[in-house]
Amino acid sequence: MAVDSDGPARTGGTGVVPGRLVSGAGWGAVATVLMSVVMLFGMLTGVAPLPNPVPVALVARTVGALPQPVLVGLAVLAHLAYGAVAAAVLAGLVRRVSVWIGLGYGVLLWGLLGLVWLPYLSWGLFGIAVTPRIAVATLLPHLVYGLTLGLVLDRHHAPRRRTTGIGGEAR
């Protein structure tokens, strides 16, 4: 029977490895880019009936009227930062991120969007004040985000040692 080692020692008694947070943030930014591509593709094809990309709408609502290039630039930075921080939190809280945990985390973040951010935009819970299709249109990119994290987050750390559990011989 094979047993995975725990990998590097945890630091400071907190259970958090600083490199893991950095890795989580980096992969979170990558996952955010991928989910943004899905969102923009959905908007361009009409599949996602969003009045505006959600990050652009949030920045506009929060800071007010800005020139379009500034607004879009701030929205891109805010979305990348949000995705990076969210993934760093996942990496810090969950010892081993699987595809299922990543997908679940994507759904959790989608729930946060639907219950907090879309109502903040006056779009209603999950965007239903605009159209119920927004709920599904925002779920898919969040699943892409979570799937990406589930696929890559724990696959790019130092290889885990495998032992047989009998005599401690490494495979």
Does residue 46 sit within a domain? yes
Does residue 54 sit within a domain? yes
pLDDT tens figures, 31-74: 999 999 999 999 999 888 989 999 999 999 999 889 999 999 99
What pTM does this model have?
0.80
In the predicted model, what is the mean pLDDT of residues 88-100? 92
Percentage of residues in the chain having pLDDT higher than 70? 81
Q: What pLDDT, on the 0 to 100 scale, is given for residue 95?
A: 85
Give bridge partners of residue 11 from the DSSP assignment: 16
Does residue 9 sit within a domain? no
Domain, as residue range, for 127? 18-156
Does residue 34 sit within a domain? yes
- Only one residue has tokens 């130092």, namely 158
Residue among 20, 24, 31, 54 nearest 134 (CA): 54
Q: Do 149 and 97 contact (CB within 8 A), yes or no?
A: yes
In the predicted model, what is the mean pLDDT of residues 120-145? 95
Q: What pLDDT, on the 0 to 100 scale, is given for residue 10?
A: 45
Does residue 152 sit within a domain? yes
Residue among 110, 113, 104, 115 nearest 147 (CA): 104
What does the DSSP 8-state code read for residue 11? Answer: B
Does residue 12 sit within a domain? no
Does residue 123 sit within a domain? yes
Using left for φ > 0, alpha for ψ between -120 and 50, and beta otherwise, residue 52 falls in beta
**Number of domains the chain contains:** 1
Does residue 109 sit within a domain? yes
